Amino acid sequence: MTLPPLLLVGCGRMGGAMLAGWREQGLSASVAVDPAASAAAFAGADLTVVLNAAAIPDGFAPAAVVFAVKPQNAGETLPLYRRFAGQAVFLSIMAGRTIGGMRGLLGDAAAIVRAMPNTPAAVRQGVTVACPGQRVDPAQRALCERLLSAIGAVAWVDDEALLDPVTAVSGSGPAYVFLLAELMEQAAIEQGIPPELARLLARQTVAGSGALLAASAEDAAALRVAVTSPGGTTERALVVLMAPDAWPAAMSRAIAAATKRSRELAG
């Protein structure tokens, strides 16, 4: 079933990934707003790309307005779309920006869904957690479910406060995994492995382990134990990584710091 007309505000990395997923499902004639010259590459029979909100074609009536812009730009961007309140559902993927804060910019009639996807959306392997505002009706929630499931798994929460730690865990999480691959590659080179082989080993180990985790019914701890032979090389490495002041403490501090920053962005 073809998706209804949409208004996408922002064609950056995440906005572009979402658009690609929607096109795979079939997209009715829609509009994207982005002042960057590169955004014109997204134009097609199903999408008109304009530079600003004033250039949106007269009479265009989207079923959803999707905000894929930086949260720092919300104050100047969102009021430009108040005219769609009461007609379309607003779907925001801006980190930290609360439903209440967005309603203050969009008007009391605005039906708002706040969501946090992550960058594996680019290969349709993302995970998004979404929270509906009070004015969101069942049909609008179902539409947002379709839009978000086009880029991966979707979960819903009623407690909006959970979206700050969600942002810290899954929204920012791909960067932690990429850092792991980066550090493994560097450490391999330090041990004398040629750079090209070091990169292959690090990237494929991370990617393959993620695929195994996704395919397994066992939890991560059980899979870790399964590869850790007593007295072996893995156990020796984990003694270092799992020391109280190493990975366990560092990850806890990292998630706490990212959660705090998500809350700060609401201001």
Residue 137: the pLDDT is 97
Domains of the chain: 6-160 (3.40.50.720), 173-264 (1.10.3730.10)
Sequence-ordered list of residues with C-beta below 8 angstroms from that of 82, at least 6 positions apart, any chain: 105, 106, 107, 110
Q: Are 71 and 95 in contact (CB under 8 A)?
A: yes
- What is the structure's pLDDT at 266? 77
| pLDDT at res. 138 | 97
Q: Are 125 and 140 in contact (CB under 8 A)?
A: no
Specify which residues 185 forms β-bridges with: none
Q: What does each C-alpha distance from 37 to 11, 42, 238 come to in angstroms?
A: 11, 10, 48
Q: What is the pLDDT of residue 267?
A: 61
| Pairwise CA distance, residues 75 & 105, whole Å | 7
Which structure tokens are listed for 82? 């108040």
Could you give the CA distance from residue 19 to residue 3 in angstroms, rounded to a whole number?
Answer: 11
pLDDT of residue 265: 84
| pLDDT of the residue at 128 | 98
Residue pLDDT, tens place only, 136-156: 999 999 999 999 999 999 999
C-alpha to C-alpha distance for 12 and 74, rounded to whole angstroms: 15
CA proximity to 92, closest of 107, 71, 72: 71
pLDDT of residue 119: 94
pLDDT in tens, 194-216: 999 999 999 999 999 999 999 99
DSSP 125: -
Tokens at 32, concatenated:
């994207």
Q: Which residue type, as a one-letter code, is found at position 120?
A: P
> What pLDDT, on a 0 to 100 scale, did the predictor assign at position 1?
82
Could you give the count of Cα atoms lying within 13 Å of 267 in the half-sphere of its Cβ?
Answer: 5
Which positions of the chain have pLDDT values less than 70?
267
Q: At what angle do helices 13-25 and 138-149 cross, to 10 degrees?
A: 100
The DSSP H or E segment spanning 74 is helix 74-77
